Chain A
Amino acid sequence: MKDIYQSFIGIEVHVQLNTKSKMFTKIPYKYNSPVNTLIDPYVLGLPGSLPVINYDAILKAVKVGLLFKSNINTSFSWDRKNYFYPDLPKGYQISQNYSKICTGGFVKIELPLKNNNYIYKKINLHSIHLEEDVGKIIHQNEDSLIDLNRAGVTLLEIISKPEIKNAEEAFYFLKSLRNHLLCIGVSNCDLEKGEMRFDVNISLSKNKNQLGTKVEIKNLNSVFYVKESINYEINRQKKILLNNGSINQETLRWDEKNMITVPMRKKESSIDYRYFPDPDLPIINISKKMISDIKKQIPILPFDKKKILIKKYNLSNEISSLLSIDNELYKFFEETVQIYNNPIMIANFIINDIRKTLLLNNLKNNILPQNLAKIIKMVDEGLIYKQIAKQIILDILLKNLDSDNIINHYLSKNNINILKIKNICLEVVESNISIVDTIKSGKKNAINFLVGKVIKSLNYNVDANIIKKILEEII
């Protein structure tokens, strides 16, 4: 049965930018700092305190705008969003309402199809603007505790148009958005640290030219909850509409325990923020030169990188996806391939061994391209097994020892083994002269018989190709 109701979903993404200090004051920000230590008169909202613009935030915001091909407004200002809440020290948040730093733009998303193929779609953006974050309230029994460490942190708000069709598209939208932001290094996008938060708005309609009543789900802090809440809400609204009911325009929150959307209190959802231009801050003008300088800093985008990886290096879709979203590993990959041309094996090692280890242990990559190239070349030439190569890599990453030392250590261990194998091969050759003659006369496959004999004599597994190679040398 065809679905008569289409969903129109838009997402507002709040991203904490990794500026050294907060948006309007010089205080730094670090997640999980002791409570109320990242504060100053401005953060506390003390009388007489004034905002001072963090210009790095502006540069980063422009970078994001250029990344998503938005229109950068060369002149913009700041507006106060007024409301009362204990985690909002000044009783207003400095944001942008009447003139935002970027308008328009789009996020390209990659949707997987059933036959292992992909299609690309654009989700258009409404705008991108800067604002300051609010503090945190923790409710403990009868008390409400306030931590202002997060108050004033640089926040970038990216607002999409309601062009997302379902939970799955939402997932890929957020995934792509995150990968693009990581690519230009403006945020670590760590959801567990609250560096990205989402508000979702949904409306259903039979006709795309006439949108239905919009409902907003606020403060989602995981992609999983975004998906779940969208699915729940679409079902809820469909039921109402199919029964000829109507949707109330309301603000909801996601109840994580019961997995349902719940209306927020009336007061919270119908606030007039009384926006007006902040008289403490000047209008900012950005020059065309500044914009073009920032544009030069934008690296190759994830999807384009992925295309290169697939076309030029013949890598698989999965490996390419993973390699395309990490600038450093991508660079590492290319540099290693320049030295030794086995892209597929290099990529596999980088993704399956190096990347995994780095993520699990929160490390930085300390392997040099020339060393990785050396290791892979040795595997190719049969000097060491793949397993040994993996162990070498682990050792270099975790024990931070000199690469050459580790390689030599394993090589020598291997060489002893190789010596042993060589001896056994010699023995086998000497005790099977007739077979050797057969091989020499042209029946190359007979070598496999010798290989088998060698393997029998050995009491551990060795790559048959290595044995073959050694035998061929002898013969």
Chain B
Amino acid sequence: MKNIFFKSILELSKLLSKKYISSYELTKIYINRAKLIEKNLNSFISLNEDYSLHLAKESDYRRSIDKTLGKLDGIPISLKDNICELNQTLTCGSKMLKDYKSIYDATVTKKLKNNGMVLLGRTNMDEFAMGSSTERSYFGSTSNPWNFKYTAGGSSGGSAAAVAAGITPLSLGSDTGGSIRQPASHCGIVGLKPTYGLISRYGLTAFASSLDHIGPLSHTVKDSALILQLIAGYDNKDSTSLKVKIPNYIKSIEKNKKNNKKWTFGVMNQSYDKIVNHEVQSFILKAIDFYKNKGHKMTNINIKYGELAPPIYYILSSGEASSNLSRYDGVRYTYRPKNINKNLISKTREEGFGEEVKRRILLGTYILGIENYNSFYIKAQKIRTLIKNNFEEIFKKVDFLISPTVSNTAFLKNTKIDNPLSMYLEDVFTIFCNLTGYPGISLPCGFSKEGLPIGFQIIGKPFKEDDLLSFANEFEEAHNYYNIHPNL
């Protein structure tokens, strides 16, 4: 019998509705577990115990009078500290916003509240989502629950670690270049980046607007489906959100399973041998074999301009970021140096931002400069379009692409921090989804000799999360990774 704190939300929802446990008791379990583990993990930036228990009590009351707000009423969930939640912190892992409290809810937050979910706390992240290890957080790095010496990945490292360690059953993170999928892979859980435009970005602190996504981190694929159902949909407050029909994801998963649906998938041919670790490669090949043996058709796919993806990702994301972060100027609501009477803006930014953020802002400012704009930004946009067009061609022949999520397992703390470029290579497989907007999911498929999780990535067609989740669910149900948890 699994410990309750590792149960999926699907299971928890059943327990709550059968009244085997109350939301209050459940929430208390997570809070107590957090108190035990957090000093080693550091996955939360803030935990508001009274507030969470209050929400839990309200849920129990609703249940007692048979007026629950939905399937997920009373289920705890934590949010990455860059998604607005009224009256809670929004540090974005930065000194710049260390004392800031949101005065409004993000659209996704409102949806969670409207469904009675219990908001459990704000999770740690790389500063302003720029990083792949959560070591760039002003509040200290987050450890990998499988081995505290290793990083949890990033930038949604806090979310991934909290779920993997069983101190929150579910978390929402953000993904600009892989920031949900990569930490999910390093922590052995499921991380989904949905199609761009499916989920409203209103209330998500912008890093790179055309690349940012909100998505869930969970124990199982079905859990992702459940929460996706809640948060997907057009929002008139976000002009990049799209009016699309939202299918019933759980029903689709079950229907495809029942019909034994067969698909075609491609395998990314991106210089595998050169960059992917052998252990990781072997588990990816096992996953590919699994699908082949199940009767799905496989083809080899070469992504055109694939090797250009990392540089154009850094050009475009840095350019947009340099503009999105201009609002942090010490004038209205950010950190402000004491005793200052001139150069307010430059001193605030000098003191309030960490090194990696400054690096990206400088890079982005340079890129958008009038002498460079055409050679970098415009060129990168053109290549981005070429990659998008190539994806359209590829997905005429296949339903999915399979690749490693990351070329390696989690790395030791302090090993990449002085080498930005090596840190940037954590993204090579994940950035395609951000550049094209296509949905991607990472799920566990093995462990390294050191006992560190290995994940693989499935990329699907835009707005076809129903198929993507079905395909992923098939692998998950046939394996037991979702039942393997760190010894904490």
Do these two chains interact? yes
A53-B90 in contact (CB<8A)? no
Whether B127 is near chain A, meaning CB under 8 Å from some CB there, is: no
* Complex Cα gap A126–B104 (Å): 42
A52-B205 in contact (CB<8A)? no
* B319 (CB) vs chain A CBs: closest residue: A276
B306-342 interface bits toward A, Cβ cutoff 8 Å, 1 = contact, 0 = none: 0000000000000110110111110111000000010
Q: A48-B202, A90-B327, A91-B329 are in contact. Are A276 and B368 (CB under 8 A)?
A: yes
- Where the two chains meet, the residues of B that have a C-beta atom closer than 8 Å to any C-beta of A are 82-84, 90, 92, 97, 100, 102-104, 106, 201-206, 208-210, 236-240, 319-320, 322-323, 325-329, 331-333, 341, 344-345, 365, 368-370, 373, 377
Query: In the assembled complex, how far is the CB of residue B344 from the closest CB belonging to chain A, in whole angstroms?
Result: 8
Residue from B237, B326, B368 in contact with A91 in the complex, judged by beta carbons closer than 8 Å: B326
Whether A245 is near chain B, meaning CB under 8 Å from some CB there, is: no
A84-B326 in contact (CB<8A)? yes
A86-B331 in contact (CB<8A)? yes
A268-294 interface bits toward B, Cβ cutoff 8 Å, 1 = contact, 0 = none: 000010111001111000000000000
Query: Most chain-B Cβ atoms within 10 A of its Cβ — which of A45, A47, A146, A274?
Result: A47
19 contacting pairs across A/B (C-beta < 8 A): A45-B327, A46-B103, A46-B104, A47-B92, A48-B83, A48-B84, A48-B106, A49-B202, A50-B237, A86-B329, A90-B327, A91-B326, A92-B326, A146-B332, A274-B369, A274-B370, A275-B373, A280-B240, A281-B240
Whether A263 is near chain B, meaning CB under 8 Å from some CB there, is: no
Residue from B206, B240, B320 in contact with A282 in the complex, judged by beta carbons closer than 8 Å: B240
Whether A112 is near chain B, meaning CB under 8 Å from some CB there, is: no
A80-B84 in contact (CB<8A)? no
Q: Which residues of A contact B103 (CB under 8 A)?
A: 41, 46
* Complex Cα gap A412–B470 (Å): 92
A52-B236 in contact (CB<8A)? yes
Query: In the assembled complex, how far is the CB of residue A375 from the closest CB belonging to chain B, in whole angstroms?
Result: 53
B329-A47 in contact (CB<8A)? no
Q: Which residues of A contact B84 (CB under 8 A)?
A: 47-48
* Complex Cα gap A175–B110 (Å): 51
Query: In the assembled complex, how far is the CB of residue B448 from the closest CB belonging to chain A, in whole angstroms?
Result: 37
A91-B239 in contact (CB<8A)? no
* Complex Cα gap A80–B203 (Å): 20
Whether A51 is near chain B, meaning CB under 8 Å from some CB there, is: yes
* A142 (CB) vs chain B CBs: closest residue: B341
A53-B82 in contact (CB<8A)? no
* A36 (CB) vs chain B CBs: closest residue: B332
* Complex Cα gap A275–B341 (Å): 30
B239-A52 in contact (CB<8A)? yes
Q: A50-B201, A82-B323 are in contact. Are A276 and B104 (CB under 8 A)?
A: no
Residue from B240, B333, B345 in contact with A44 in the complex, judged by beta carbons closer than 8 Å: B333
A82-B368 in contact (CB<8A)? yes
Query: In the assembled complex, how far is the CB of residue A137 from the closest CB belonging to chain B, in whole angstroms?
Result: 10
Q: 10 closest A-B pairs (Cβ-Cβ)? A: A91-B326, A274-B368, A279-B210, A279-B209, A47-B205, A45-B327, A48-B203, A48-B84, A90-B327, A91-B327
Query: In the assembled complex, how far is the CB of residue A88 from the closest CB belonging to chain B, in whole angstroms?
Result: 9
A80-120 interface bits toward B, Cβ cutoff 8 Å, 1 = contact, 0 = none: 10101010011110000000000000000000000000000
Q: Which residues of A contact B209 (CB under 8 A)?
A: 279-280
B332-A89 in contact (CB<8A)? yes
A46-89 interface bits toward B, Cβ cutoff 8 Å, 1 = contact, 0 = none: 11111111000000000000000000000000001010101001
Query: Most chain-A Cβ atoms within 10 A of its Cβ — which of B208, B237, B238?
Result: B237
Q: Which residues of B contact A52 (CB under 8 A)?
A: 236-237, 239
Residue from B92, B238, B331, B344 in contact with A50 in the complex, judged by beta carbons closer than 8 Å: B238
Q: A47-B97, A50-B238 are in contact. Are A80 and B327 (CB under 8 A)?
A: no
Other contacts beyond A86-B331, A86-B345, A92-B323: 4, CB < 8 A = A47-B92, A47-B97, A48-B102, A276-B319
Q: A41-B103, A272-B369, A276-B368 are in contact. Are A146 and B331 (CB under 8 A)?
A: yes
Q: Which residues of B contact A279 (CB under 8 A)?
A: 208-210, 240, 320
A80-B369 in contact (CB<8A)? no
* Complex Cα gap A50–B202 (Å): 6
A51-B239 in contact (CB<8A)? yes
Query: In the assembled complex, how far is the CB of residue A11 from the closest CB belonging to chain B, in whole angstroms?
Result: 25
Q: A44-B333, A47-B92 are in contact. Are A91 and B240 (CB under 8 A)?
A: no
Q: A44-B332, A48-B106, A279-B320 are in contact. Are A82 and B326 (CB under 8 A)?
A: yes
Q: A82-B326, A274-B370, A279-B210 are in contact. Are A45 and B205 (CB under 8 A)?
A: no
Q: Which residues of B contact A48 (CB under 8 A)?
A: 82-84, 90, 102, 104, 106, 201-206
* Complex Cα gap A282–B196 (Å): 14
* Complex Cα gap A222–B446 (Å): 73
* Complex Cα gap A82–B365 (Å): 10
B240-A46 in contact (CB<8A)? no
* B326 (CB) vs chain A CBs: closest residue: A91
Query: In the assembled complex, how far is the CB of residue B122 from the closest CB belonging to chain A, in whole angstroms?
Result: 13
Residue from A89, A142, A272, A282 in contact with B370 in the complex, judged by beta carbons closer than 8 Å: A272
* A273 (CB) vs chain B CBs: closest residue: B370
* A53 (CB) vs chain B CBs: closest residue: B239
* Complex Cα gap A44–B329 (Å): 12
* Complex Cα gap A5–B250 (Å): 78
B206-A91 in contact (CB<8A)? no
A282-B239 in contact (CB<8A)? yes
Q: A48-B206, A82-B326, A90-B326 are in contact. Are A274 and B373 (CB under 8 A)?
A: yes
Query: Most chain-B Cβ atoms within 10 A of its Cβ — which of A44, A46, A272?
Result: A46
Q: Which residues of B contact A89 (CB under 8 A)?
A: 327, 331-332
* Complex Cα gap A28–B416 (Å): 50
Q: Which residues of B contact A50 (CB under 8 A)?
A: 201-202, 237-239
* Complex Cα gap A272–B323 (Å): 13
* Complex Cα gap A83–B370 (Å): 13
* B210 (CB) vs chain A CBs: closest residue: A279
* Complex Cα gap A82–B377 (Å): 15
* Complex Cα gap A281–B239 (Å): 6
* Complex Cα gap A276–B210 (Å): 13
Tell me the chain A residues, 13-64 only, with Cβ under 8 Å from chain B: 41, 44-53
Q: Which residues of B contact A90 (CB under 8 A)?
A: 326-327
A47-B368 in contact (CB<8A)? no
Query: In the assembled complex, how far is the CB of residue A77 from the closest CB belonging to chain B, in whole angstroms?
Result: 12
* B368 (CB) vs chain A CBs: closest residue: A274
Query: In the assembled complex, how far is the CB of residue A48 from the closest CB belonging to chain B, in whole angstroms?
Result: 4
* B325 (CB) vs chain A CBs: closest residue: A91
B365-A274 in contact (CB<8A)? yes
Q: Which residues of B contact A49 (CB under 8 A)?
A: 202
* A52 (CB) vs chain B CBs: closest residue: B239
Query: In the assembled complex, how far is the CB of residue A118 from the closest CB belonging to chain B, in whole angstroms?
Result: 45
B82-A47 in contact (CB<8A)? yes
Query: In the assembled complex, how far is the CB of residue A4 from the closest CB belonging to chain B, in whole angstroms?
Result: 36
* Complex Cα gap A52–B202 (Å): 11
* A81 (CB) vs chain B CBs: closest residue: B323
* B330 (CB) vs chain A CBs: closest residue: A86
Residue from B323, B333, B368 in contact with A46 in the complex, judged by beta carbons closer than 8 Å: B333
Q: Which residues of B contact A47 (CB under 8 A)?
A: 82, 84, 90, 92, 97, 100, 205-206, 327
* Complex Cα gap A170–B287 (Å): 75
Q: Which residues of B contact A91 (CB under 8 A)?
A: 323, 325-329
Query: In the assembled complex, how far is the CB of residue A211 from the closest CB belonging to chain B, in whole angstroms?
Result: 22
Query: In the assembled complex, how far is the CB of residue B86 from the closest CB belonging to chain A, in whole angstroms?
Result: 11
* Complex Cα gap A45–B377 (Å): 25
* Complex Cα gap A280–B202 (Å): 10
Q: Which residues of B contact A53 (CB under 8 A)?
A: 239
Q: Which residues of B contact A51 (CB under 8 A)?
A: 239
* A78 (CB) vs chain B CBs: closest residue: B239
Q: Which residues of B contact A281 (CB under 8 A)?
A: 239-240
Q: Which residues of B contact A45 (CB under 8 A)?
A: 327, 332
Query: Most chain-B Cβ atoms within 10 A of its Cβ — which of A46, A90, A274?
Result: A274
* Complex Cα gap A147–B374 (Å): 37
* Complex Cα gap A234–B43 (Å): 66
* Complex Cα gap A51–B341 (Å): 32
Q: Which residues of B contact A272 (CB under 8 A)?
A: 369-370
Q: Which residues of A contact B104 (CB under 8 A)?
A: 41, 46, 48
